[in-house]
């Protein structure tokens, strides 16, 4: 059953920012060692400042797996990340998502029914070829379980090329979902020829492909995408190149291939942070990722010139749902031993999904 976000009440909605911050800090202190607040890099500053640990999807999954002494893990990120944390933590730990409406539109583009149906169609055409399923971590626990059951692996934006290499060593074909762009960027980086990469359009029979094209393909990409990273275009890359040749362009691999190909570097949010923070004073950057991270990098690196690659605000509106008032509501309840918004993956799904996550951590 889908959990629904309840209204937290006017008492929380009416609180001014400074009062919210004071009360969150006090609750954090009261809960002490029992509490772990994890924050993804796209969180807004008013929440991010309360993080015990921050990271990209891979780092946060590893943190959650390592912190087995924390009964309460408050996950300031999106639903699939909290699910992964629940899968990797013990039964004595509660993973909590402060606002249940914080989903990921890309993860919602691959339902279990659609993927299972497509898998059947694909297998019927490819006959004896071994297909390895690889799912980006931005997917539901049910999808991860589907992959675990079929000896596949999860990947994140920081290890997609490594996981794809592993998959191609273990099978003739890889079925990659849900992000077309991460899949294509990783496959091209590995030197796979463009005519061996095909797109699986989930609305069409055989994904809109001929049987021949499917038989020839090495990498089959689901047609999902990130609504935030799709907003960066090749025209933005061109604009910066013309404006200032000294500007280095770095983008997330969820961007379209033409954007990644035009950039100087690409990588996960963690890699973007490392590249920008480690660059020499006076460096100039145009960054193709979510605006909260770009603004934070600009604030933390006043000796550098930092811009968003796009002139428009590319905000992840679902990440943005995690607001201080929801965090406070969660912590107020925890102090009274009431766990709200716990993310629970059912044990059968968790067991299979853990196989796919564990394989990624091994690779
Ligand atoms: P990272 O793993 O690079 O943090 O990316 C997660 C994400 O959702 C990017 O849109
Ligand atoms: Fe999903 Fe894109 Fe938001 Fe990441 S930035 S959580 S992929 S919608």
Residue 209 and residue 198 in contact, taking contact as beta carbons nearer than 8 Å: yes
- The pTM score is 0.96
Atom of ligand 2 nearest to the CA of 77: 6
CA of 269 to the centre of ligand 2 (A): 12
| pLDDT value, residue 127 | 81
Q: By three-state DSSP, how is residue 288 classified?
A: strand
State the ligand closest to the CA atom of 230. 2
Atom of ligand 1 nearest to the CA of 55: 4
- The residue nearest atom 3 of ligand 2, judged by CA position, is 316
CA of 106 to the centre of ligand 2 (A): 7
Q: Judge if the beta carbon of residue 156 lies within 6 A of ligand 1.
A: yes
Q: By three-state DSSP, how is residue 1 classified?
A: coil
Q: By three-state DSSP, how is residue 313 classified?
A: coil
| pLDDT value, residue 128 | 75
| pLDDT value, residue 68 | 87
Atom of ligand 2 nearest to the CA of 290: 5
Q: Judge if the beta carbon of residue 138 lies within 6 A of ligand 1.
A: yes
Q: Judge if the beta carbon of residue 318 lies within 6 A of ligand 2.
A: yes
User: CA 222 to CA 200: how far, in whole Å?
Assistant: 5
End-to-end, the C-alpha distance of the chain in Å comes to 33
| pLDDT value, residue 1 | 45
Q: Judge if the beta carbon of residue 104 lies within 6 A of ligand 2.
A: yes
User: CA 191 to CA 59: how far, in whole Å?
Assistant: 27
- The residue nearest atom 1 of ligand 1, judged by CA position, is 56
Atom of ligand 2 nearest to the CA of 40: 6
Strand stretches in the chain, DSSP E: 35-40, 53-55, 72-76, 94-96, 131-136, 153-155, 173-177, 197-200, 219-222, 248-251, 265-266, 284-288, 305-308
Beta carbons within 8 Å of 207's beta carbon, 6+ residues apart:
118, 121, 122, 198, 199, 200, 201, 214, 220, 223
Closest CA to 144 of 57, 71, 251: 57
Core vs surface per residue 221-247: b (16+ CB within 10 A) or e: bbbbbbebbebbbeebbeebeeeeeeb
Residue of 38, 77, 156 best suited for mutating to test ligand 1, as the one with most atoms within 8 Å of CB: 156
pLDDT per position in the chain (363 positions), as tens? 457 999 999 999 999 999 999 999 999 999 999 999 999 999 999 999 999 999 998 899 889 889 989 999 999 999 999 999 999 999 999 999 999 999 999 999 999 999 999 999 999 999 878 999 999 999 999 999 999 999 999 999 999 999 999 999 999 999 999 999 999 999 999 999 999 999 999 999 999 999 999 999 999 999 999 999 999 999 999 999 999 999 999 999 999 999 999 999 999 999 999 999 999 999 999 999 999 999 999 999 999 999 999 999 899 999 999 999 999 999 999 999 999 999 999 999 999 999 999 999 898
Q: Judge if the beta carbon of residue 254 lies within 6 A of ligand 1.
A: yes
- The residue nearest atom 3 of ligand 1, judged by CA position, is 268
Closest CA to 39 of 24, 17, 23, 19: 24
| pLDDT value, residue 2 | 59
CA of 205 to the centre of ligand 1 (A): 30
| pLDDT value, residue 129 | 82
User: CA 174 to CA 303: how far, in whole Å?
Assistant: 44
Residue of 38, 39, 40, 60 best suited for mutating to test ligand 1, as the one with most atoms within 8 Å of CB: 40
Q: If you search the block for the tokens 């291939």, which residue do you land on?
A: 257
């Amino acid at each position: 059953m889908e959990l629904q976000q309840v209204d937290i009440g006017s008492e929380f909605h009416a609180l001014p920012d400074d009062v919210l911050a004071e009360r969150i800090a006090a609750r954090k202190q009261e809960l002490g060692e029992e509490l772990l607040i994890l924050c993804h890099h796209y969180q807004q500053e008013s929440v991010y400042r309360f993080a015990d640990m921050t990271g990209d999807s891979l780092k946060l999954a590893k943190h959650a797996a390592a912190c087995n002494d924390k009964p309460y893990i408050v996950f300031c990120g999106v639903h699939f990340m909290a699910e992964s944390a629940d899968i990797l933590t013990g039964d004595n730990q509660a993973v909590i998502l402060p606002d249940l409406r914080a989903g990921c539109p890309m993860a919602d583009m691959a339902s279990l029914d659609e993927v299972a149906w497509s898998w059947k169609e694909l297998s019927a055409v490819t006959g004896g070829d071994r297909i390895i399923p690889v799912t980006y971590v931005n997917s539901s626990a049910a999808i991860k379980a589907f992959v675990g059951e079929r000896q596949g692996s999860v990947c994140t934006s920081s290890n997609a090329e490594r996981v794809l290499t592993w998959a191609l060593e273990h099978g003739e074909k890889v079925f990659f979902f849900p992000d077309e762009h991460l899949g294509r960027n990783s496959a091209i980086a590995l030197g796979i020829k463009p005519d061996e990469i095909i797109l699986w359009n989930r609305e069409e029979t055989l994904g809109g492909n001929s049987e021949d094209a499917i038989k020839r393909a090495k990498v089959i990409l689901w047609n999902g995408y990130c609504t935030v990273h799709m907003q960066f275009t090749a025209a933005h890359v061109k604009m910066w190149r013309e404006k200032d040749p000294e500007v280095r362009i770095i983008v997330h691999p969820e961007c379209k291939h033409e954007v990644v190909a035009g950039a100087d570097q690409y990588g996960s949010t963690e890699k973007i942070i490392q590249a920008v923070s480690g660059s020499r004073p006076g460096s100039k950057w145009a960054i193709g990722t979510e605006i909260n991270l770009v603004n934070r990098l600009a604030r933390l690196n006043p000796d550098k010139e930092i811009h968003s690659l796009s002139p428009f605000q590319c905000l992840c509106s679902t990440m943005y749902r995690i607001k201080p008032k929801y965090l406070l509501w969660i912590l107020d309840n925890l102090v009274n031993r009431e766990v709200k918004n716990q993310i629970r993956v059912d044990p059968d799904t968790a067991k299979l999904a853990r196989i796919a996550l564990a394989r990624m951590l091994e690779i």
